[in-house]
Chain A
Amino acid sequence: MQKYVMVICILLVSCSKIIPSSTPSVTFVDATPFPSLPSPIPTTLINLSQVPISTLSTEESLRQVLELYETNGNCELPCWWGITPGKTSWLEASQILAPLGTLNEDSFRVHFPKELDPLEVPLPEGYILGEVATSFFVENEVIRAINVNSRWVKRSSEYSLAGILSVWGEPDDIWIRPFPESITGIPHYDLNLLYSKKGLVLSRGVAENQNGLMIICPQNVLSYDGVPPWFILWSEHENVTFSGNDEILRHFAADFGELFVELNDLTGITTEQFYKTYINPGTSECIRFDPPAKP
């Protein structure tokens, strides 16, 4: 296929490509639109039934949801809908979210009008168009991290790989988990972009095996199941790595790190080369590499 013909050939001059000359700057603002509250340090989660939470009409609830989707609560990533990891308390987050949807111990769900979901149908079975499903890592009554799909940050956000890279900047680390053989008959892979002091971008895609090589096209973020990348967002005061300090990552995924290989070790491509290639929204370049050796 044509899209697979162009591969990243770092070592071949004939494959050199034009790199975008500038990258939009990225600003992570600690903007919390709430008055400061005394820092509670209890050891257990607050019982939601004991928290005074306003009751909204359906219309008002939807209006507030749509406003948050338009403005992201007037804050920037890693803040989501006015909730800033490392800063916003669970009580404050509860007061924002509980009137808008279903808030459980550590997750929040709300349904948008389907026409506002940026995804296209048909989605695979089990995926609900218009559903925002988010989870939280709450520690000492403070939101330590947020897990949300990239399409639900802000209406104007771009969930393509190029769009994400233009907002997040160059990753600190990139890791790939290749599945060259699959019981589904379709090779696939997971791709993680790590920003140690901001968050993690999790994506997966369908791959192709060709003459013993595995070919992936990371810009095709919808190729696996039609759902864009997920974010795990944390504070700049964290320093999360794959090989340690990964408490946040393990909170959200039991198999985190398993079978992952660092991009450069697997493909010979650096994070800088990856970034400069895929920040270009029009790129059709793919990555070709030897899958890990079979025992």
Chain B
Amino acid sequence: MDPTGHSPVCEDTGDPSCGPEMSVQEAWKAAGDTFGITFGGTWSAKETADVMMAVNKVGNKFASARDFGESSAEAWKAIFGNSFTFKRVGANDCTSKKGKAAFACTGHNKISVSQFYGADIQNIRLMMHEIGHAFDLAVCSRAENCTWYNQKGGAAYDSLGGKLETCETTTVDGSSCLGRFSDGPISGPDQHWGFAGGWDSWQFGAYEKDQTWEVFADMFVGWVSDTWAPTDRGTNRSTFMNNTMSGYLKSWTP
């Protein structure tokens, strides 16, 4: 952590690498002014910068896919509105009913973080994964009969629900599947089932690894970063997300 408590987050874009350093408070104000984001709980400058880096990357990708000439912040607010909260919570505050503690958990326009990784790049991708869940819920909120407990109509259900095939390596056609077993082999033609890396690197949905919402959130990370395994499965995931996301995003008109 930067002992000065300063974080190099830019006021205009939220990109930590592009401007003069700011204090955590200044970074929060900039995030609120530009992206409508509020921080709750105790955050370090580094953690704040990681979150805003993820937010800015997602916003830029939204803007690019929507193609309405928006800035990163404008595209972000077009999808999530003017209010989105990141909350730092205790180690057990994202624990499931089954007692398993997660690094983060996501509700409607709210992401709670109980644990961060050691490396910025992991934290940025973890935040992208959670924003992927938030996007899923944003789609859900626009649909009928879609609730937090029943995501019918959410992006994951809509796009993957009926199509999420479990990876089956015994057939040639298996290479087109969008499902996964664990985080996949470390190498070879099935590496990481098409994702660019394994758990804690490019995949974060270990808790319910084979469920559509977790697969979708990890594919959201790959889509924002435009990075996949250099395999047939990676190409299939990339094509699927590029085709799916632009349709959703353009339906939110400015």
Contacts and interface: CB of A to CB of B under 8 A. Distances in A.
22 contacts: A107-B231, A107-B232, A109-B172, A125-B182, A126-B167, A148-B188, A179-B200, A183-B103, A185-B100, A185-B101, A188-B199, A202-B187, A224-B186, A230-B185, A230-B187, A252-B191, A258-B201, A259-B122, A295-B1, A295-B44, A295-B46, A295-B118
B201 A181 contact: no
Interface string A236-276: 00000000000000011111001100000000000000000
Nearest to A137: B230
Contacts of A294: 116, 118
A127 B185 contact: yes
Interface string B193-204: 100111111101
Interface residues of A, number: 46
A181 B115 contact: yes
A252 B196 contact: no
B184 interface: yes
A82 interface: no
Nearest to A135: B189
Contacts of B232: 104, 107
Contact of A255 (B175, B189, B196, B199): B196
Contacts of B103: 183
B27 interface: no
B119 A259 contact: yes
Contacts of B229: 253-254
Contacts of A225: 182, 185
B241 interface: no
Nearest to B207: A183
B186 A293 contact: no
Interface in A148-198: 148-149, 179-185, 188, 190
Nearest to A295: B46
A144 interface: no
B202 to A, nearest CB: 6
Interface string B37-63: 000000010100000000000000000
A199 to B, nearest CB: 12
B169 interface: yes
B201 A255 contact: yes
Interface of A: 102, 104, 107, 109, 111, 124-128, 131, 133-135, 147-149, 179-185, 188, 190, 202-204, 224-225, 227, 230, 232, 251-255, 258-259, 291-295
Given A230-B188, A232-B187, A254-B196, 17 more contacts: A126-B184, A126-B193, A133-B190, A135-B188, A149-B187, A149-B188, A180-B118, A182-B199, A183-B200, A183-B207, A184-B199, A184-B200, A185-B101, A230-B187, A252-B187, A255-B201, A295-B44
Given A102-B172, A111-B170, A293-B118, A254 B234 contact: yes
B84 interface: no
Contacts of B120: 295
A107 B44 CA distance: 46
B228 interface: yes
Contact of A258 (B115, B118, B121, B187): B121
Contacts of B102: 183
A111 B207 CA distance: 32
Interface string B68-111: 00000000000000000000000000000000111100000000
Contacts of B46: 295
Nearest to A255: B197
Identify which of B116, B118, B120, B199 gathers the most chain A CB atoms within 10 Å of its CB.
B118
Given A181-B200, A255-B197, A259-B201, A147 B117 contact: no
